Amino acid sequence: MPSLTPLHEPYCSLRKAPLTQGDLIEGLAQLTTTGIARTTEFVQAIYRETVLRPMGLYAEKDQNRLRRGIFNRTMTLVEVVTRHAGVYSAHLLRTLQLSTRQAAKPLPAPIHMVVSALNGVMGDHLVYDRNPLALPMIIYDRHGNAFTGELRGRIVIFVHGLCMDPHSWYPGRYKSMGEQVRRHIDCTVLYLSYNTGRRISLNGRTLSNLLNDLYIRNPDITHIDIVGHSMGGLVARSALFYGKQMGLNWMLLVDHLVCLGSPHQGALLERLGYMLLDKVGKLPMAGSVARLGDIRSAGIIDLRWGSVRDDDWEHLKSGRRGDFSDNRHPAPLPSNIKTFFIAGTIEHENMPSKTRETLGDYLVSVKSALGEHSNPEYQLNVPQNRKAVLYGVDHMQLQYSQRAIDQVLAWLTPDSKPRATVTSHEHMATLETRAVTL
């Protein structure tokens, strides 16, 4: 699969509407036939490994002749026919099985959660294949509906993590983080939905443009706060990086960024996965088996070192999977934004522990979640009084633990007093003053 750049990504960044039941039927049909086509690619790879390599025919000079062979031609024909059959059968199934009204209905919450998990695992493949199951980036309200109303004053946007969706925040429930923020602070709470299998930097660019469009349509927005869980914190950082780079006005409204268990310095689990596949790939006749690991999404690959910029991956000579070296480009936080980091750990008390240092909250180490690094270029330099470590709280609990909620409220509350409505002229003067610090 070729690398996709922000200028050439073909599908989901263009879509603006939530997925429907018709999209589900069509997407599943297409996914089934795409899987068959990819199986033929894997069979070809196994054939090269097990038959051609022992015969000494695996060298580059032999490949053109072998591609013209009967086996490869047959497999290629099967792949092409299957892919085209998938597209047409998908449209046919959608037409036959659903009425027009039923096809246009949004996905029920449980189904949307399953589709979101699928996007996390292979979302960039869905984009590349133009599969209707590739989730677009959309903002939802606290009732689980795509937001289309007007905004004014302060807004707080919650950004979920890998394989999750807005429902993982339990929107609308009385004790959820979003509802408690809404009750304690004079603000509008919104939830972001996005394809977590895309490159983090692509999602960051899309979020930056989406927030800028949101502000253009709602010029009475006065302040924006972002709360990101896990990958969501990295997507928010990427949006801030590109928003500043492009000089977009929404950046002037951002007050707070709160990251819950975000792997700013990468996730150990992805690094271990890469090392395992790398070792397996070097075993005799196992290279094709190791290639199965490349099915995992680009979003997951970006978690290896917490990459938030295009140039961390766009021109890699080692291919889509990259290599083990930490070759990130620095992405410092804008100095005018108050940034806060929360780390979770499975340890129940503050004692020196290898478990605490290595495992953290099962998925992200404490140092990574706090943005700490021995290399000054990667150090995010968040003041100590804006960091918190929650003991006995694992990665997923950070979204709904009352201790995490209390900490977020304590950080957001100082600016929670109702703000007087200002005229457009006064508002622009305020933005110009704040722009000096960017």
pLDDT single digits (tens) 19-66: 988 888 888 878 777 654 455 454 455 445 444 444 444 455 544 544
Helix axis angle for 200-217 and 231-246, nearest 10°, is 60
**Beta-bridge partners for 191:** 140, 158
The per-residue pLDDT for range 183-219, each reduced to its tens digit, is 999 999 999 999 999 999 999 999 999 999 999 999 9
Tokens of 181: 């923020």
Distance CA 355, CA 338 (A): 30
Tell me 309's DSSP state. Answer: S
Six token digits for residue 355 = 């478990």
**What is the rounded CA–CA span in Å between residue 204 and residue 140?**
18
SS3 content of the chain, % helix, strand, coil (to 5): 50, 10, 40
Least confident of 17-21, 91-95, 157-161: 91-95
* Those residues with Cβ within 8 angstroms of residue 28's Cβ, 6 or more apart along the chain or in another chain: 133
At 9 the pLDDT is 66
In this predicted model, what pLDDT tens digit does every residue of 212-239 receive, in sequence order? 999 999 999 999 999 999 999 999 999 9
Whether 100 shows a pLDDT value over 90: the answer reads no
Looking at residue 262, its pLDDT comes to: 97
Give residue-wise pLDDT tens across range 115-138. 999 999 889 988 988 889 999 999
Radius of gyration, CA atoms only, the chain: 23
CATH code: domain 138-266+329-435 is 3.40.50.1820
Q: How far apart are CA 276 and CA 303, in angstroms?
A: 16
107 vs 114: CA distance, rounded Å:
10
Torsion of CA 76, 79, 84, 86, to 10 degrees: 180
Tell me which DSSP letter residue 334 carries: P
pLDDT, position 75: 42
pTM as predicted: 0.81
Q: Exposed, middle or buried: residue 137 (CB in 10 Å: 0-12, 13-18, 19+)?
A: buried
Instruction: Name the residue type at position 130.
Output: R
Q: Mean pLDDT, to the nearest integer, of 400-419?
A: 81
> Whole-angstrom Cα distance, residue 72 to residue 371?
49
Q: Cα(410)–Cα(385) distance, rounded to whole angstroms?
A: 12
In this prediction, residue 24 carries a pLDDT of 87
Region of 163 (left: φ > 0; alpha: ψ -120 to 50; beta: rest) is: left
Which two tokens mark 143? Answer: 């009732």
In single-letter form, the type of residue at position 115 comes to V
Domain extents in the chain: 20-105, 138-266+329-435
224: helix, strand or coil = strand
Longest dimension (CA), the chain: 79
